[in-house]
Amino acid sequence: DADVTQTPRNRITKTGKRIMLECSQTKGHDRMYWYRQDPGLGLQLIYYSFDVKDINKGEISDGYSVSRQAQAKFSLSLESAIPNQTALYFCATKLGHTGELFFGEGSRLTVL
């Protein structure tokens, strides 16, 4: 099983719908991140969390919210999805200040 698991791997939804992407990890890492990847734009940080009570906005947090339900779980929500949120979303984890960033396999979201 993957150390960083994202669900769903693929989702097609309609404009205005609420969608949640979930991430769970078995690595025991304290820090968790949500990135978005778009062709020509690279990876952009949406939100990050250093522990359950510490949530921070990244570069492109507008239109997104997150919840750190436990050290191992970090979910990303789109309250009212719009077409320009169509992208590949990655969850990542890291141990402490200087650890390596480990990515999940991605969740492909299409908003029609």
Partner 1 sequence: QKEVEQDPGPLSVPEGAIVSLNCTYSNSAFQYFMWYRQYSRKGPELLMYTYSSGNKEDGRFTAQVDKSSKYISLFIRDSQPSDSATYLCAMSLGGGATNKLIFGTGTLLAVQP
Interacting residues with partner 1 (CB under 8 A): 4, 31, 33, 40-45, 48, 56, 58, 90, 92, 94, 96-98, 100-106
Rounded to whole angstroms, how far apart are CA atoms 30 and 73?
Answer: 10
**Distance in Å, CB of 16 to partner 1, minimum:** 28
- Nearer to partner 1 among residue 62 and residue 100 (C-beta): 100
Tell me how far apart the alpha carbons of residues 45 and 73 are, in angstroms, rounded to a whole number.
Answer: 17
Minimum distance of partner 1 from residue 40's CB (angstroms): 6
Nearer to partner 1, 17 or 43 (CB): 43
Q: What does the angle CA 18 – CA 58 – CA 75 come to, to the nearest 5 degrees?
A: 40
- For partner 1, give the closer residue by CB, 31 or 72: 31
What backbone torsions phi and psi does residue 50 show, to the nearest 5 degrees? -90, -25
